Structure 1
Amino acid sequence: MRAISTSTSSPPTAAAGSAASWSSAFWIRCRPAASPGFTARSRPATTAAPNASSSAMVSGCSTVGKLPNSSDSTPLRSMSRQSSWISGTNHPATLIVSFHDLAPPSREAAERFLEGLDRLGLGPATFLLVPRWHGGPPFTEDAGFTRWLGDLVRSGHELCLHGWTHRGETNRGGLFTRLTARHYTAGEGEFFLLDESEATRRIQAGRALFAAAGLPCDGFTAPAWLNGPGARAALEASGLAYYTTWSTLRLCPGGPSLPAPVLTPSSRAAWRRTVSKIWLPFWFALHRRTPRLRFAFHPVDFSYPEMEAFLWRLLRRAAHNRTCRTYLQAALQARPA
């Protein structure tokens, strides 16, 4: 297991791209585009327990604060390091690599994901964090996990809010809506049927937990990428920098939706894994010249060695002539000059 590098080298600064004219007031409050990457720092020597009881709602662009100190007696198995990233050529084309469904139960899979990135020399990545996985305790109640999240951010990766519980209703709406909620999402399309008020409440509650742990929160990805009308309205008013859909990266508030096709398998059944191995190379070939390409891993992918090996091979191909950027870096790159 490798310790976090103390090198001050970081992924290259992305040049600001052009975008449709839209309100830039948000970006005045955001992190400067001149530094889209984060500089890796050595671990603090002391421990500050996260305040899990904080209920203050978050306002503004980011909840950047003092990160949890990281003196966990169990060292990280691997932490993909900036000094090993091979994105120094600064290709204008972007690759956004993400790990979904991050929560204390999926930490082992996340560490395997980091090891794979380290082997390929790829990074930074975006980790989609679920504040209360399937309605369980807040992630802040696991002090070791919370310190580990701080290590992720310090090493250059991004944390993105990924719903609240990752559980959704399945018995509302018409037949198509119920079938989508029940079968396409396996009952996990949490933000698909929420009204604006409830979506706002859950987004604010999630950001409050990030803030209590001293972790930045600049974007949102709904479970299964399903944002219903209520969720979209709540996100536009949330003060976040971006949210994502299955096919786009949406800049907030009121900004353009940037095409960003995603390569992601479905691994929860044998027939789905077989179809994924046929479909994903075709989908990649179709979108290999797109300015922004995404590659999304889920914890279940690491339960099947043959599927995991296939995904690493495909990711290596997808990374050719692209610069790895986090969602936030890609959003900052596309903001108005």
Structure 2
Amino acid sequence: MTENTRQKRLLASIHDVGPASERAVVQLADLFQRRLGGPSFAMLVVPNHWGRHPLSEDRAFQRRLRGWAEAGIEMFVHGWYHKDEVRHRGAAQFKARHMTAGEGEFLGLDEATALSRMLDGKALIEDVIGRPTAGFIAPAWLYGEGARAALRQAGLPIVEDHWRVWAAGDGNVLARGPVVTWASRSAARTASSLAFAALARTALPLTRTVRIAAHPGDVTKPALLASIDATLRRFTATHTPSRYRDLGRFMAPQ
């Protein structure tokens, strides 16, 4: 492996982790570990998905989550409900309607509510896994002004959106570039996500940091799973599978 290859990092993550998605998450985790050569990826944990699947009440899944964390998988707080219950206007209304299916929970929250949910999620997940969480990633990567203000107080070190990764405390940008992800909720979105992943496999190898994010719904479509597999294989050839905390340790801000 060349020095240039060692300087490049692949950040992979599984979103929407919780009791309701356990079977799909296990399938994705097995794929990730096989392609990445170990547990060098992250899981984004939803404390109570849509208010129907509370992590706090599922002891068996808690044990599984703790085992993953002990094996070295990074754990992020991924909202609280993963459901957007705010009525939006203007640009936020466009984002809520076109960038997610009613799941941009932190797009319209005020600062106090956002901070409360962040802290509650952090406390619950850290109690379950027995160690600090890696940071916070909002559902659908959508943040309103209230959420951004809350992040500076929540003590959750690392944050990301569609285009960058940054340190929550001082706003220092650790990596830039689009995240490669897939969509399963409609044929059109599936087709466009497959096309983007194929383009990324050609266009992004020179990028220092590549991010790949899979969702439980991806396992429902063989074409998506095949694309995820191909994308992981492509980038492990040029990028070192890494954890988010490696950005601060080994890489200069980009």
C-alpha displacement at 1:137, in angstroms? 4.6
Higher helix proportion: 2
Question: Is residue 197–residue 230 contact of structure 1 (8 Å, CA) maintained in 2?
Answer: yes
Alpha-carbon distance between aligned partners in 2 of 1:253 and 1:279, rounded to the nearest angstrom: 32
Count how many residue pairs are aligned between Structure 1 and Structure 2.
248
Provide the residue aligned with 1:279 in structure 2. Answer: 196
- Once the two structures are TM-superposed, the CA of residue 285 in structure 1 deviates from its matched residue by 2.7
Q: Does 1:250 align with 2:141?
A: no
Q: 1:110 to 1:263 in 2, by over 3 A?
A: same
Residues 47-126 of structure 1: pairs in structure 2 closer than 5 A: 91-123=6-38, 124-126=40-42
Q: Which residue of structure 2 lines up, in the alignment, with residue 177 of structure 1?
A: 92
Aligned to 2:153: 237
Tell me the secondary structure at the aligned position of residue 50 of structure 2. Answer: helix
Which of the numbers 216, 240, 245 marks the counterpart of 1:299? 216
Gap regions ≥5 residues in structure 1 = 1-85
In the alignment, is the contact (CA less than 8 A) between 1:150 and 1:215 conserved in 2?
no
Match of 1:77 in 2: none
Deviation of the 1:255 alpha carbon: 3.6
TM-score normalised over the length of structure 1:
0.69
3-state SS in 2 of match to 1:324: strand
Name the CA distance, whole Å, in 2 between partners of 1:284 and 1:313.
Answer: 9
Matched, 1:329 2:246: yes
The range that moved more, 197-206 or 114-123, is 114-123
Aligned-partner Cα distance in 1 for 2:85–2:97: 8
1:194 counterpart = 2:109 = yes
Bigger radius of gyration, 1 or 2?
A: 1
**Contact (CA 8 Å) 1:170, 1:187: kept in 2 or not?**
no
RMSD: 2.0
Higher strand share: 2
User: Cα distance, 1:162 vs. partner?
Assistant: 0.3
Q: Hey, what's the Cα distance between the residues in 2 that align with 1:130 and 1:224?
A: 12
Q: Work out whether residues 18 and 55 of structure 2, in 8 Å CA contact, stay in contact via their aligned partners in 1.
A: yes
In structure 2, distance between residues paired with 1:323 and 1:126: 14
Q: Is the 8 Å Cα contact of residues 104 and 139 (structure 1) preserved in structure 2?
A: yes
Q: Identity over aligned residues, as a percent?
A: 35
TM-score where L is the length of structure 2: 0.90
Q: Which runs of 5+ in 2 are unaligned?
A: none
**Cα distance in 2 for residues equivalent to 1:186 and 1:90:** 37
